Amino acid sequence: MTDSSNTTVPDDAAQARAKPRDSGDILWEEPKSIGGKTGAELITDYVKLLPNKPGVYRMMNAANDVLYVGKAKSLKKRVQNYARGIGHGGNRTTRMIAETAHMEFVTTHTETEALLLEANLIKRLRPRFNVLIRDDKSFPYILLSGDHEAPGLFKFRGARSRKGDYYGPFANAGSVNTTINALQRIFLVRTCTDSFYANRTRPCLLHQIKRCAAPCTGEISTEGYAELVKQTKDFLTGKSQEIKNRFSKRMQQASDDLDFETAAIYRDRLAALSHVQSHQGINPQTVNEADIFAVHHEGEQFCIQVFFFRTGQNWGNRAYFPRADKSFDEDEVLNAFVSQFYDDKPIPKLVLVSHDLAEADLIAEALSVKSDKKVQVYRPQRGEKRDLVKQVARNAKEALSRKLAESATQTKLLAGIQEVFGLEAPPQRIEVYDNSHIMGTNAVGGMIVAGPEGFAKNHYRKFNIKNEDLVPGDDYGMMKEVFTRRFSRLMKEHSDGNGEVDEGAVPPWPDLVLIDGGAGQLSAVQEVMEELGLTNKVKLVGVAKGPDRDAGRERFFMPGRQDFSLPMRDPTLYFIQRLRDEAHRFAIGTHRARRKKDTLKNPLDEIAGIGPARKRAILHHFGSAKAASRAGVEDLMVVEGVSEAMAQRIHDHFQKG
């Protein structure tokens, strides 16, 4: 084991180390130094020190990069396999063993704990030799709020910090919108914001078209609206048939009482509910709550398709393209994927898979522990469940075919970029820069990134222009600031150049930089690169719009080369236009967001010592910041929480303004 001074202890383990061994929590085994050895020889020495306990191990190279994270029922036996040169296959394991310079270990009480910790560490450390989920987009959910007298239904994405009930995940925002629209027609629960609700004096249009019960203006009693909310919860937790029976009885009762208006209301709600429940070949009859996984392998790529079923409905699907060595079998990739997938997602009662998983029982046990309910994980052999898995597998195959076709097209376009700009190889990372402002106000710079797999949106960056000495509208100065900040930071974080980059990943250093502008912008950027000592490190190209700003007539400027244009119908030109348009879209979107935030800014926010509570008290007392700006010191002191010194500070601020 390695010297503890060079060890980064996982958060889980660090917290557990202080606890006694019989506490039932994860325990950390302190690494011990084994100097001067690498590969199988090093691993052999580790075997002598390891216990016959379940746990998680990490294999690391000389640069302290984590190569692989694995779990074992017995650490000693599992690591011994590596010492003998046997693992889970082929050249991948041989390379991994050869690069191993030290290892770290965490012992756990059970193999289930080891599986959960392994998934957590893989997601955090992203080791090169593991199967990695590449997912930079969170799932949307439906939120039924719990912090308001009249709960509302909202589309929600992000950290689930707001009080309420969350239902999902949905594969995309469209699935959420469709479900919310259906719930509006059935249960008439509000979907407006709390501020909109608070300012209503009469019902809005949604009430007129029978999509909201209008609790904001008292069109329905508090008890009546609470019943609608309860029905919504019942529906979203799978009790739709009970609700349908209840509606049917109430419709019949109203009809018997000759209350035909009420009967018509329940008739319409029943019709909407039946539409949602209708069997269309995709909404199963025997599966109420399940996630279905299927994997397909072609060439050197894997695709895993996931379908989400809740309340007997299909809540959408998503395709994943995990990074995995070609030596892995499909069932191994699927096993690793499912193990990692539920790290931050709700777990259903049933997980169906397209292949027999070696660790299906262990995964089921781990998911049951994590969700505090019984979870089944298996490959169905007959009936509707098997048909559903086949359908998901077919979608996985089709998604991978589309992905491979797109990759082939992207490869051709990058080869065209290489030829046009004289690069040594097709670029793996292209950065495109653009600025956006209105007469110099709210100025921002935007950077977008593209690579072999298209736009890499998780690498996009925005730069709020901070230099107060810039003349408003100075595009050259703004571009200088953006490049200084961008490449200064890049040099600090990746001073050793490109470094070793995982296959399929976007490297940190760009092969090509496109600048929205002509010779002037290019010259400004060259100055920055010279100051940073990066001359000739990165290929720079200025892209100037043609006469009358016509697309297709762009001029390209490069250091030491005559400016030039490309033929009007050249596919490479179209590709460059797409890159430039994406940079423009990103920059102007960032600018608009900053401008909107500036517009909504309250003058009280600029005063030191004014927090949310004091600001609220001042606004409640005076009605607006403008009214507060006209108030005298004595008037301000009347506000709760405002001392004489604070009142004087507020008064001085507005007088100065």
The 10s digit of each residue's pLDDT in 251-260 is 887 777 787 7
Task: Please return the burial class of 25, using the count of CB atoms within 10 Å of its CB with bins 0-12, 13-18 and 19+.
Answer: middle
Question: The domain that contains 317 carries what CATH number?
Answer: 3.30.420.340
Element (H, E) at 120: helix 111-125
Q: Which runs of consecutive H residues, i.e. helices, occur in 143-259?
A: 173-187, 194-198, 205-208, 222-236, 240-256
Same domain, 366 and 438: no
Q: Coil, helix or strand for 526?
A: helix
Q: Tell me if 209 sits within 8 A of 257, measured CB to CB.
A: no
The answer to whether position 494 is within a domain reads yes
* Averaged confidence pLDDT in the chain: 81
Q: What pLDDT, on a 0 to 100 scale, did the predictor assign at position 551?
A: 63
Question: The domain that contains 113 carries what CATH number?
Answer: 3.40.1440.10
What are the DSSP E strand ranges found in 311-344?
313-320
Q: How confident is the model at residue 511 (pLDDT cuts 50, 70, 90)?
A: very high
**Single residue among 238, 260, 282 that ends a domain in this structure:** 238
The share of the chain scoring above pLDDT 90, in percent, equals 21
- Average pLDDT over every residue of 285-292: 84
Same domain, 485 and 579: yes
Q: Which two tokens stand for residue 11?
A: 């958060």
AA letter at 574: Y
Residue 413: what are its φ and ψ, rounded to 5°?
A: -65, -40
- Average pLDDT over every residue of 468-484: 84
The pLDDT tens digits for 60-101 are 888 888 899 999 888 888 888 888 765 555 677 888 888 888
Q: How confident is the model at residue 6 (pLDDT cuts 50, 70, 90)?
A: very low
Same domain, 196 and 99: no
The answer to whether position 446 is within a domain reads yes
Q: What pLDDT, on a 0 to 100 scale, did the predictor assign at position 279?
A: 43
Please compute Rg for the chain using Cα positions. Answer: 30
Q: Does residue 341 carry a pLDDT above 70?
A: yes
Question: The domain that contains 632 carries what CATH number?
Answer: 1.10.150.20
Q: Does residue 498 carry a pLDDT above 50?
A: no
Cα diameter, the chain = 92
Q: Does residue 504 carry a pLDDT above 70?
A: no
Same domain, 474 and 591: yes
The pLDDT tens digits for 10-53 are 444 343 333 333 334 444 444 444 556 777 888 888 888 888 88
Q: Does residue 483 carry a pLDDT above 90?
A: yes
Q: How confident is the model at residue 596 (pLDDT cuts 50, 70, 90)?
A: confident
The answer to whether position 40 is within a domain reads yes
Q: What pLDDT, on a 0 to 100 scale, did the predictor assign at position 246?
A: 75
AA letter at 436: S
Q: Does residue 207 carry a pLDDT above 80?
A: yes
Q: Tell me if 365 sits within 8 A of 338, measured CB to CB.
A: no
Same domain, 566 and 436: yes
Q: How confident is the model at residue 355 (pLDDT cuts 50, 70, 90)?
A: very high
Rounded Cα distance between 461 and 510, Å, is 14
The answer to whether position 102 is within a domain reads yes
- Average pLDDT over every residue of 607-633: 79
- Average pLDDT over every residue of 630-643: 85
State CA 399 to chain mean position distance. 20
AA letter at 399: A
Q: Does residue 230 carry a pLDDT above 70?
A: yes
Same domain, 89 and 194: no
Name the DSSP letter for residue 530: H
Q: Tell me if 648 sits within 8 A of 633, measured CB to CB.
A: yes
The pLDDT tens digits for 119-157 are 888 888 888 888 888 765 678 888 889 888 899 999 888
Apex 32 CA angle, 18 and 494, nearest 5: 90
Same domain, 155 and 12: no
The answer to whether position 246 is within a domain reads no
Q: How confident is the model at residue 7 (pLDDT cuts 50, 70, 90)?
A: very low
AA letter at 250: R
Q: How confident is the model at residue 4 (pLDDT cuts 50, 70, 90)?
A: very low
Which one has a higher pLDDT value, 29 or 392? 392
Please report how many Cα atoms fall inside a 13 Å half-sphere around the Cα of residue 54, on the Cβ side. Answer: 15
Pairing assessment for the beta strands 430-438 and 512-516 based on DSSP bridges: parallel
Token pair 């699935």: residue: 175
**Single residue among 178, 213, 238 that ends a domain in this structure:** 238
Q: Tell me if 292 sits within 8 A of 309, measured CB to CB.
A: yes
Token pair 């011994």: residue: 80
Q: Does residue 495 carry a pLDDT above 80?
A: no
The answer to whether position 31 is within a domain reads yes
The answer to whether position 257 is within a domain reads no
- b/e map 132-166, b = 16+ CB within 10 Å: bbeeeeebbbbbbbeeeebbbbbbbbeeeeeebbe
Q: Tell me if 320 sits within 8 A of 133, measured CB to CB.
A: yes
Rounded Cα distance between 168 and 164, Å, is 13
pTM over 0.75: no
**Single residue among 125, 150, 166 that ends a domain in this structure:** 125
Residues paired with 431 in a beta bridge: 449, 513
Which one has a higher pLDDT value, 369 or 615? 369
Q: Which two tokens stand for residue 555?
A: 């001029």
Rounded Cα distance between 156 and 141, Å, is 5
Token pair 């020495």: residue: 45
AA letter at 128: R
Same domain, 349 and 452: no
State CA 608 to chain mean position distance. 35
Q: Residue 623 is part of which domain span? A: 603-656
The pLDDT tens digits for 559-574 are 988 989 888 888 899 8
The share of the chain scoring above pLDDT 70, in percent, equals 86
Q: Does residue 325 carry a pLDDT above 90?
A: no
Which one has a higher pLDDT value, 175 or 322? 322
Residue 448: what are its φ and ψ, rounded to 5°?
A: -115, 155
Same domain, 10 and 85: yes
Nearest alpha-carbon partner for 273 in 265, 262, 261: 265
Considering its fold, how many domains does the chain have in total?
5
The count of other CB atoms within 10 Å of the CB of residue 385 is 19
Same domain, 482 and 557: yes
Q: Coil, helix or strand for 427?
A: coil
Q: Does residue 9 carry a pLDDT above 50?
A: no
Q: Does residue 481 carry a pLDDT above 60?
A: yes
Q: What pLDDT, on a 0 to 100 scale, did the predictor assign at position 241?
A: 67
Q: Does residue 449 carry a pLDDT above 90?
A: yes
Same domain, 201 and 343: no
The answer to whether position 276 is within a domain reads no
Same domain, 98 and 151: no
Q: What pLDDT, on a 0 to 100 scale, did the predictor assign at position 137?
A: 66
The pLDDT tens digits for 400-419 are 888 888 888 888 999 999 99
Element (H, E) at 144: strand 140-145
